[in-house]
Amino acid sequence: MATASLTATRRTGTGKGNARSLRRDGQVPAVIYGHARESLPLAVSARDLEKLLSRISADNTVVELAVDGTASRALIREIQRHPFKRAILHIDFQEIVAGEKMTVRVPLRLIGTPVGVRLSGGIIDHPLRELTISVDPARMPNQIEIDITDLDLGDSIHVSGVKVPDGVTVLDEPGAAVVVIATPRAAVEAVAAEVEPTAAEPEVIRAKKPEEGAEPEKK
């Protein structure tokens, strides 16, 4: 389980005017909530927050949030950014309650070079790069590794085939493809060109000419 630390302060004012004032002062409006507590408006240093987010995975890192001397363990649930400037406008934290499972996204890491790539020039197609899981934060993995060494051309691994640690429940569709060893496009096109049938010329049916001197057939 990855952890990080951040300091926050309570904020008494709310509303757009207060939020703009905080941002001018280098602060980011925030809130922490959880079923065991009331929502608490906060403010965090924009500089400290940007530094934190540059070195952690926001989806599955537990943040030790110090609020006026009181520590709370929380997950980042939403980050709102300015559409053009990319500055952080607001951030939501959800407090962690001991023994309570939470839903998080965990990155998938592929291990090894597949047989189909090494020997046959295949291509690794990796459409699903994260798993959505339900887990006690105390047992939350930083990532889930998948060994793809033995995969040959055309082989694949789906969500149902991913091995996860004990205590982890996967919430994604079991049949969703995680990784596929695909045949290179050039090879597929070459095979298709070889087997593509040539178009046959249409047969022209012509009426027989009557023999010279023969009378035409009467209808």
Best CA proximity match to 59, nearest among 127, 116, 135, 118: 135
Within 10 angstroms of residue 140's Cβ, the number of other Cβ atoms is 22
What's the rounded mean pLDDT across residues 190-196?
Answer: 51
* pLDDT tens readout for residues 140-179: 999 999 999 999 999 999 999 999 999 999 999 999 999 9
Long-range contacts of 215-218, Cβ-Cβ distance < 8 Å, separation of 24 or more: none
Mean pLDDT along residues 60-82:
92
**Could you give the dihedral angle defined by the CA atoms of residues 187, 191, 194 and 199, in that order, rounded to the nearest 10 degrees?**
-120
Q: What is the pLDDT of residue 2?
A: 83
Is residue 107 pLDDT above 60, yes or no?
Answer: yes
- What structural domains does the chain harbor? 2-95 (2.40.240.10), 102-195 (2.170.120.20)
Give me Rg for the CA atoms of the chain: 31
DSSP β-bridge partners for residue 73: 64
